[in-house]
Amino acid sequence: MPNTPLANRPHDHSHCVHTALAEADALCARQGVRLTALRRRVLELVWQSHKPLGAYDILGVLSEQDGRRAAPPTVYRALDFLLENSLVHRIASLNAFIGCNHPEHAHQGQFLICRECHVAIELEQAAISDAIIDSAKDVGFSVEAQTVEVVGLCGNCRSA
């Protein structure tokens, strides 16, 4: 049996959200940056599941649930803030965002994205990012950032 990632296991997700917000509070306090109410709410929305969420979905919830008429640039700025502080990752292939559960240390995002249920499972394998950096170096390229997005079927969808 392979390891079943949290995203594929039944679990109390409110615990994930609670932990993520508490970590964000602590991290922002340490770095002396302000996690405003809107930034915090956007982070909470990104964490509503283990599936990446697009900026327009976030805008939709903000206006429906919160009755807030947040302009798109406001939400994009909040997302930029969360990205800069490593609290979320951007999944380019889906144009969507996913919460990071280990924002406290610098790392490159590696994601397994299920094409069926859209769950995104983050891997943290230094060996993968090192291999990319080395291969890039071989062709004279200096890597500044990397996000690896791998598409396939997650364990739940494979057994369904």
| Bridge partners, 53 (sequence order) | 97
- Which 3 state secondary structure label does DSSP give 99? strand
Which of 25, 84, 104, 116: binder of Zn ion (CB under 5 A)? 116
> Is residue 123 part of the contact set for Zn ion (CB under 5 A)?
no
Number of residues lying near Zn ion (CB under 5 A): 8
97 close to 51: Cβ distance less than 8 angstroms: no
Q: Which two tokens stand for residue 144?
A: 């500044």
Which region, judged by CB under 5 A, interacts with Zn ion, from 60-68, 72-80, 135-143, 146-154?
146-154
Angle at Cα 29 formed by Cα 143 and Cα 43, nearest 5°?
Answer: 65
Which region, judged by CB under 5 A, interacts with Zn ion, from 29-37, 69-77, 99-107, 129-137?
99-107
Which region, judged by CB under 5 A, interacts with Zn ion, from 18-26, 34-42, 72-80, 108-116?
108-116
- Residues 15-54, one symbol each (x = binds Zn ion by CB under 5 A, - = not), give -x--------------------------------------
Task: Work out how close the CB of 5 gets to Zn ion at its nearest, in angstroms, rounded to a whole number.
Answer: 10
| Bridge partners, 122 (sequence order) | 111
In whole angstroms, give the CA distance from residue 121 to residue 13: 15
Residue 85 amino acid letter: N
Residue 146 amino acid letter: Q
Which of 27, 70, 117, 133: binder of Zn ion (CB under 5 A)? 117
